[in-house]
């Protein structure tokens, strides 16, 4: 059990995210885990003090998943997206995407990774689109930026606009569209380079619920129809419900909220919450009973983790 999960006042049900440990990695294994976080710490240094944004985070994102990361403001959600996107590097621990250790990539390869493998959608619509270009020109811009070396798998501008339901707005400028429509265009733009992963930071934060639902529809359809893995950060629980799985962050750590479960049978059988099954299913486990709490974890983690 790690020290960070032992802090007083916490109750039952807190489990670490799961997945193979670093020692079990093998080339090409990313079909099981496209993204791997292993004991990831991020500490921002400001003058003499350090702000701990992530305090030992472990999880996997499987290929083709639509994952939501939820948690209050300041809990480390954007930090996780920045690490997956290669915009920032972990202070300690390992962040792997498609079996690349992002912390060890030379700068040139990291730049190529950001450009070719990842699509970003930011909270404010202003950051996603160029206002004086039409919708279609915005969608074509990423290909232009990579010198027209359009990947073989590239979809046409109209295909991309169709999947987000905006084919009829191709000639409009962003200012003529609602906030939600602009975010859907941003989804199409982010897909233009055929990224492996779509990263969205609070994509519905500034939208009314109807527009938000349509943006979430757009994520769901690119996830389903193009097989793009989506990681969406949100503090909107309704939005998070549209994802196929949710991770919850609190103070830079992953937690699984305490939730009522069925009574334990006489021989000690109980059904864990789905999140715990996702995190721990199929693994060798061990159990610790202490102070009226039962903690279940991957076997061999009892030694704790130090940054």
53 binding ligand ADP? (CB under 6 A): yes
What residues contact residue 227 under an 8 Å CB cut-off, 6+ apart? Answer: 63, 64
Residue of 91, 104, 12, 89 whose CA lies nearest to 51: 91
Q: How far apart are CA 294 and CA 72, in angstroms?
A: 26
- Shortest reach from residue 138's CB to ligand ADP, in Å: 26
Q: Which does 165 bind (CB under 5 to 8 A by kind): ligand ADP, Mg ion, none?
A: none
3-state secondary structure at position 163 = helix
How far is CA 28 from each of CA 36, 40, 98, 100, rounded to the nearest angstrom? 13, 22, 8, 10
- Shortest reach from residue 186's CB to Mg ion, in Å: 17
- Shortest reach from residue 79's CB to ligand ADP, in Å: 3
3-state secondary structure at position 239 = helix
132 binding ligand ADP? (CB under 6 A): no
* Binding segment toward ligand ADP, per CB under 6 A, in 24-32, 67-75, 262-270, 298-306: 67-75
77 binding ligand ADP? (CB under 6 A): yes
75 binding ligand ADP? (CB under 6 A): yes
* Binding segment toward Mg ion, per CB under 5 A, in 60-68, 71-79, 144-152, 187-195: 71-79
205 exposure class (CB count in 10 Å sphere: 0-12, 13-18, 19+): middle
Pair of tokens at residue 247: 């991770």
Q: Which does 79 bind (CB under 5 to 8 A by kind): ligand ADP, Mg ion, none?
A: ligand ADP
Q: In the block, which residue shows the tokens 């997945």?
A: 19
Residue nearest to Mg ion (CB): 78
* Residues found near ligand ADP in the complex (CB under 6 A): 44, 46, 51, 53, 71, 73-79
Q: Which residues bind Mg ion (CB under 5 A)?
A: 78
């Amino acid at each position: 059990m790690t020290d960070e999960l032992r802090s007083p006042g916490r109750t039952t049900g807190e489990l670490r995210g799961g997945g193979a440990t670093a020692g079990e990695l093998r080339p090409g294994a990313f079909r099981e885990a496209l993204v791997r976080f292993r004991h990831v710490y991020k500490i921002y240094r400001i003058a003499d003090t350090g702000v701990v944004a992530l305090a030992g985070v472990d999880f996997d994102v499987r290929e083709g998943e639509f994952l939501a990361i939820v948690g209050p403001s300041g809990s480390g959600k954007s930090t996780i997206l920045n690490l997956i996107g290669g915009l920032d590097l972990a202070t300690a621990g390992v962040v792997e995407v498609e079996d690349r250790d992002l912390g060890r990539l030379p700068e040139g390869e990291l730049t190529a990774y950001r450009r070719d493998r990842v699509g970003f959608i930011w909270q404010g619509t202003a950051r996603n689109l160029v206002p004086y270009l039409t919708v279609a020109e915005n969608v074509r811009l990423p290909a232009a930026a990579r010198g027209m070396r359009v990947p073989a798998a590239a979809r046409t501008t109209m295909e991309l606009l169709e999947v987000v339901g905006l084919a009829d707005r191709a000639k409009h400028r962003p200012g003529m569209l609602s906030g939600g429509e602009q975010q859907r265009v941003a989804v199409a733009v982010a897909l233009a380079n055929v990224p492996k992963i779509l990263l969205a930071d609070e994509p519905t934060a500034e939208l009314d619920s109807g527009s938000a639902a349509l943006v979430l529809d757009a994520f769901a359809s690119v996830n389903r129809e193009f097989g793009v893995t989506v990681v969406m950060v949100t503090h909107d629980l309704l939005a998070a419900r549209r994802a196929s799985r949710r991770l919850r962050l609190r103070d830079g750590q992953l937690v699984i909220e305490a939730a009522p479960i069925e009574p334990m049978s006489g021989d000690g059988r109980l059904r864990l919450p789905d999140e715990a099954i996702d995190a721990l299913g199929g693994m060798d486990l061990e159990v610790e009973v202490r102070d009226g709490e039962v903690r279940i974890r991957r076997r061999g983690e009892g030694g704790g983790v130090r940054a």
